[in-house]
Chain A
Amino acid sequence: MAAIYSLYIINKSGGLIFCKDYGSAGRMDTNDTLRLASLWHSMHAISQQLSPVSGCAGIELLEADTFDLHCFQSLTGTKFFVVCEPGTQHMEHLLKHIYELYTDYVLKNPFYEMEMPIRCELFEINLSQAVQKDRVALLGR
């Protein structure tokens, strides 16, 4: 049983730059993931417009019937979101950690072009380690 179902990273204009699936049922092709990412980008923006008080920064947690979606937006507008089992704790820490990995292994990579899809081997290795560690920590609790 996977605690985390999938991870998405979208750039500041709503384009999907990274997507990793950790075992969700059903098939989703590349077009579907791209559409979902840009849909989430728009919903995030609309939720700020509908805020009853000022200073809203968009959706942080969406609780659906079968999953939770945790979203973290960096100061530059890059959004990281994970789809996980309902009630999974400490996802904010994982997202912040993934953001650290992103800055270290993607942004500091001289061959990476900004806002383009992420193809960095070291990032993927460290990411899978972080997710694995999170899963082990979850089993230990």
Chain B
Amino acid sequence: MQFFGATEINPSPPAVTASGNNAHMIYIFNRNGVCLLYREWNRSLHTLNAQQDQKLMFGLLFSLKSLTAKMDPVSVEKVNLGVPQLPGQGCSFHSFRTNTYKLSFMETPSGIKLILVTNPRTGDLRESLKYIYNLYVEYVVKNPLYTPGTPIKYELFNTTLDQYVRGLG
């Protein structure tokens, strides 16, 4: 588990691998599973309504985390399958890939989960997710009017996020 010492935004965002808009959507969940933010850029397929979709996504991440924690071939001490774990405990994962999309995942020590869904050919997005987390800290957490645990509805955060994601490889 990595901790993020500096909260100030890096002067330059991490280098992008290619140009063009190939991000599909982003989800931000808090540790209770409340969806703080959902944005989509190009999503042609909607199989479920928004709330069901978010619940399914959170469930998928939760279960995949317990799967990786149990499957971890390196650690000797493993908890039973399905036992809830604190952020940073046990083996987690950072991305998975299917033939149509790639999902990158990051969990912060406070249990905030950031999920970015992109084109399957995108490279490693861990640094980009850290940068998005920094945006969240700067534009949302430091906003005195923001009540923690409520959906994010800030124009400035959304436009900055859109701008950053549009330039993402």
Binding site for B on A (CB under 8 A): 5-6, 24-26, 28, 32, 35-36, 39-40, 42-43, 46-67, 69, 83
**Is residue B5 within 8 Å, beta carbon to beta carbon, of the partner chain?**
no
CB distance from B2 to the nearest CB of A (A): 10
Task: Chain B residues near A52: list those with CB within 8 A.
Answer: 24-25, 40, 42-45, 100-101, 117
Report whether A56 and B101 are in contact in the complex, using a CB–CB cutoff of 8 Å.
Answer: yes
Chain A proximity of B156: nearest CB distance (Å)? 26
The 19 listed contacts between A and B (C-beta, < 8 Å) are A24-B74, A32-B81, A39-B67, A42-B63, A46-B59, A47-B96, A48-B98, A49-B47, A51-B45, A52-B40, A52-B117, A53-B43, A59-B96, A62-B95, A63-B94, A63-B95, A63-B96, A66-B91, A67-B68
Q: A52-B44, A62-B95, A64-B72 are in contact. List 12 more A-B contacts (CB 8 A).
A: A5-B73, A6-B73, A25-B76, A47-B103, A52-B24, A53-B43, A56-B99, A62-B64, A62-B68, A62-B97, A64-B94, A65-B93
Asked if B128 is at the interface of the complex by the 8 Å CB criterion, the answer is no
**Residues in chain B within 8 A of chain A (CB atoms):** 24-25, 40, 42-45, 47-48, 53, 56-57, 59-60, 63-64, 66-68, 70-78, 81, 91-101, 103, 117
Tell me if B's interface is mostly helix, strand, loop or mixed.
Answer: mixed
A contact residues around B68 at 8 Å (CB): 62, 64-65, 67
A53 and B72 in contact, given A40-B67, A43-B67, A63-B94 (Cβ under 8 angstroms): no
In the bound complex, residues from chain B placing their C-beta under 8 Å from that of A53 are 24, 43-45, 100-101
List, in ascending order, chain A residues with CB within 8 A of B56's CB.
Answer: 46, 49-50
Complex contacts, A50 vs chain B, CB 8 Å? 47, 53, 56-57, 60
Residue of A nearest to B102 (CB): A61
